Amino acid sequence: MDINGQDLIRACSAIGAGLAVIAGIGPGVGQGIAAGHGASAVGRNPGAQGQIMSTMLLGQAVAETTGLYGLLIAMLLLFVKPLG
């Protein structure tokens, strides 16, 4: 089996892309926890639903950026040719 430099770079790029996509696990868990706490807070104080929902959605949007950055890195590793 002959493995040249280009094959090694492509293999490492594929492995790196897979690891970058794993970054989506954290935001998914965090957003689930935030939604659960938001629903609990609305259940305790229905009058503050608007404030709770806006704060929760802002927090989820900020948390989602980590997953989007991981996806961006994975796509760059897979589709941008590192060797020219």
**pLDDT of 69:** 92
User: What are the residue boundaries of the structural domains of the chain, listed by start?
Assistant: 26-76
In the chain, the largest separation of any two C-alpha atoms, in whole Å, equals: 68
In sequence order, the 6+-apart residues with CB closer than 8 A to the CB of 59 are: 34
What digits encode the pLDDT tens for the residues 10-62? 888 899 999 999 988 888 888 889 889 999 999 999 999 999 999 888 888 88
Give residue 67's Cα distance to chain centre: 1
CATH architecture classification, 26-76: Up-down Bundle (1.20)
* CA 17/CA 70 separation, integer angstroms: 8
**Residue/partner pairs of 55-59 with CB below 8 Å, 24 or more apart:** 59/34
Which pTM value belongs to this model? 0.72
CB 33 within 8 A of CB 63: no
**pLDDT of 84:** 52
**pLDDT of 81:** 76
